[in-house]
Amino acid sequence: MLISNAYAQAAGSDPTGGLMGLLPLILMFVVLWFLMIRPQMKRAKEHKAMVEALAKGDEVITGGGIAGRVTEVGDSFVQVEVAANTVIAVQKQAVASVLPKGTLKSL
């Protein structure tokens, strides 16, 4: 009488509506992959190879900035000589980089 009945309208079917809604999300994931995730995985792989290749006599710098020469390599630790008759134990993963031979002249 005073209030008319409300009927649901048939939904229009848009064949590209679902895909176009996901396209920005997919594009953001692809950009994130190439700019952040992939380079980080590459650096992690290079660091793992460097740590596995550590050998006695290598000159290294740790993550804390300590420079020294490797005197012994263990399973998870390396012994690093930082001065004459001063040897410290450092985790292998803490080694940030391997220096070229002859960089540390004072040891």
d(CA 43, CA 76): 20
* Global pTM value: 0.71
Given a cut of 80, is residue 15 above it in pLDDT?
no
pLDDT in tens, 45-99: 999 999 999 999 999 999 999 999 999 999 999 999 999 999 999 999 999 999 9
What's the pLDDT band for 4 if we cut at 50, 70, 90?
confident
Domain boundaries, the chain: 17-53, 55-107
Domain 55-107 - what CATH class? mainly beta
Strand-by-strand arrangement of the 67-73 sheet: 86-91, 77-83, 67-73, 59-62, 95-99
